[in-house]
Chains A and B, each alone.
Chain A
């Protein structure tokens, strides 16, 4: 009996593994090694010979509205370029970096990859992606791109990616709560932003621990483990007048640990530990559930609210105002774009697709679908709603007060150092000088690794 069982399981195993293997060998053809074309077309052929189909692989992190936009753009692209097919794969958001970096390490990345602007320098420095200046010069309409965008995507004098959109964050506030406590509403004029003290003042009045309501949540996602945290936290340093790196990007000592930084961090520490107007653990949907009076978010928030909280209306329950300021008015910018990997055997075709999505027309489709801030002036001009409330606050703030994150291959170290710095001071209530010293050391280590 047992022997039969053993025999049966062995047979099962054999057939199953045979099935598994052959199944994949069948449709494995083009996707086994992403980036290579069908055997029939040689690497040298470009769009000139139109009877061979080139398949380009493209990876991006997963986000539903953007997925829709891509489907449309890919469909229209394939229609107008019958010799190019796009194999689009979406990676779970939090794991995107891990996966793309593993693929790069293994030498088999996709032809086209999405990337977040601040990570560009790390990839470019290792020559994992190719410069696009020649392509831009040909038909990329570079002049149409906003200045901070170009700045954020340029490394070592060359541009390495094309932007899908830009991004920045502004203040959201619960209008009803403001009215109940008789607090004057913030101005909607970008040049008349509230100062930190003004916001803190309002927050103290709105704070209501008994009801579980916090006055002010200064970052969109709270103390998270991903880039979202330093993205918004860096603005505090810049607004206080501090810098993170020296102008040549070689050191943080004397810049990150300046008196202005200390001022910003003291203020930050107070929010969580002194006046306690900010939540140490941000619950999901805090603002929409009325648990936070002042919040900060990007333009995608409107769609999110309409889908999930249809009864919490713009103009009635909540309103939007420019981001706060201190000695300077600054909002962090920089968002996702597309780059062509150096392993790609079809960079020309890849550029055609990249340009299709990020070019003048593509940018308009992108905005319509995702409502992310455009990176191109022409798109801004094309949509009336970008000149009207609430989007105009984003648009003007981006244009006048946008500040990209430092462009340096040491960015991962900087990002982590800032993130931990704000956590140490905010959650850990640690000594500010010690925390700053730790952060500076981490950044210096990161820079040192680049120049062995």
Chain B
């Protein structure tokens, strides 16, 4: 009797689930996956952006990528950027979230202030930073020189240019991630903290024994999303440094954009995109495995 009922329930649940997902699925399939497949097909063609006809050339595009120094460099730049941004940004955002979690007078002000950079469009923020970073006349160096520190030439020094982009991205995203952490922190009931306190744990221990473990799901989300976004970074590169100086900030997506729209070599760009896609997919799978235990999948 119970088995029959639960079978019906299961079927109803399955059906309901599919209905709930259907709109999103259809939109995703039509507007993201279909173009993606099209791009895959393009990657096997000698496809000039504005040509009327295109011819297949097998895996020639992919083969060329393996000997392309510029592409290799752009891969390195993307990964370097991600490797730095991920831990630093996450730590800073978590720190900020912890600071503004408790209610005190003025906390609303601080929360809003930290979120302000997120409200400015990325394109405009990139433009502003390009002006601020100017070696001789930008705000940053005016202040640095004023207090006796050496100037930072982010825009013309290939060695530290990526750091300039990293600072810009962290500046912009930290408020956003802070909000996500705040929501996650608020899910942890006070009673757990009290219990730990009663057991004699100090603040640091409480953080490592109560906060972090219970934040695991939020952390998983933040890590995965930050990694994806970091690997795909484009706008600040396009606007602040144009991939320079001397190509030192050209990331993979920038390489793809330049190849597709400036060199008009769409097929080659698509091949680069898919190679990159597979690399990132592998990374994401690994990440999901690592965080698997606590996530309800």
Contact = CB atoms under 8 A, between A and B. Distances in A.
Are chains A and B touching in the complex at the 8 Å CB cutoff? Answer: yes
Interface of A: 97-98, 101-102, 104-105, 122-123, 126-128, 212, 223-226, 279-281, 283-284, 291, 412-413, 416, 420, 423-424, 427-428, 430, 438, 442, 446, 449, 452
A372 B21 CA distance: 59
B135 A280 contact: yes
Given A423-B244, A452-B57, 9 more contacts: A101-B50, A101-B264, A122-B264, A223-B156, A281-B153, A416-B258, A427-B156, A430-B246, A446-B263
B11 to A, nearest CB: 26
B101 interface: no
Interface string B40-71: 00000010111110010100000000000110
Contact of B155 (A126, A128, A281, A412): A281
Nearest to B244: A423
Given A412-B264, A452-B46, A283 B136 contact: yes
Contacts of B211: none
B184 interface: no
Contacts of A424: 246-247
B244 A223 contact: yes
Contacts of B52: 126-127
A68 B155 CA distance: 35
**Overall SS of chain B's interface:** loop
Nearest to A410: B263
B48 A126 contact: yes
B242 interface: yes
Contacts of A226: 242
Contacts of A101: 49-50, 261, 264
Given A280-B135, A281-B136, A224 B242 contact: yes
Contacts of B218: none
Interface string B221-250: 000000000000000000001111111100
A225 to B, nearest CB: 3
Nearest to A452: B46
16 contacts: A97-B261, A105-B49, A127-B52, A128-B50, A224-B242, A280-B156, A280-B245, A291-B136, A412-B262, A416-B258, A416-B263, A423-B246, A423-B247, A427-B158, A446-B263, A449-B265
A452 B156 contact: no
Contact of B261 (A98, A281, A438, A449): A98
B284 interface: no
Given A126-B48, A223-B244, A280-B153, A413 B158 contact: no
B42 to A, nearest CB: 10
Interface string B121-144: 000000000010011110000000
A97 B260 CA distance: 11
A9 to B, nearest CB: 15
A430 B244 CA distance: 14
Looking at chain B, what size class is its interface with the partner chain?
35 or more
Contacts of A423: 244-247
Interface of B: 46, 48-52, 55, 57, 69-70, 131, 134-137, 153, 155-158, 241-248, 258, 261-266, 268
A251 to B, nearest CB: 18
Given A279-B136, A412-B262, A452-B57, A105 B245 contact: no
A212 B141 CA distance: 13
Contacts of A284: 131
Given A412-B263, A412-B264, A430-B246, A105 B155 contact: no
A107 B71 CA distance: 30
Contacts of B245: 223, 280, 423, 427-428
A283 B134 contact: yes
Nearest to B266: A105
A393 to B, nearest CB: 30
A226 B238 CA distance: 11
Contacts of A212: 136-137
A420 B246 contact: yes
Which among B50, B135, B243, B263 has the greatest number of chain A C-beta atoms within 10 A?
Answer: B50
A281 B156 contact: yes
Given A280-B153, A420-B246, A423-B245, A428 B158 contact: yes
Contacts of B241: 225
Contacts of A122: 50, 264
Contacts of A283: 134, 136-137
Given A281-B136, A423-B244, A97 B153 contact: no
A105 B55 CA distance: 15
Contacts of B70: 442
Contacts of A452: 46, 55, 57
A98 B70 CA distance: 21
B268 to A, nearest CB: 8
Contacts of B246: 420, 423-424, 427-428, 430
Contact of B50 (A104, A224, A279, A416): A104
A280 B246 CA distance: 12
Contacts of A98: 261
A291 B243 CA distance: 26
Contacts of B137: 212, 283, 291
Contacts of A123: 50
A101 B263 CA distance: 11
10 A-B pairs with the lowest CB-CB distances in the bound complex, closest first:
A225-B242, A428-B246, A280-B156, A104-B50, A427-B245, A283-B137, A126-B51, A423-B246, A281-B135, A424-B246
B50 A105 contact: yes
A446 to B, nearest CB: 7
Contacts of B263: 412-413, 416, 446, 449
A127 B53 CA distance: 11
A442 B71 CA distance: 12
A300 B48 CA distance: 35
Contacts of B48: 126
Given A223-B244, A225-B244, A281 B50 contact: no
A427 B50 contact: no
A154 B117 CA distance: 50
Nearest to B242: A225
Contacts of B155: 281
Nearest to B161: A427
B203 to A, nearest CB: 38
Nearest to B141: A281
A416 B153 contact: no
Given A97-B262, A412-B264, A452-B55, A126 B136 contact: no
A283 B49 CA distance: 35
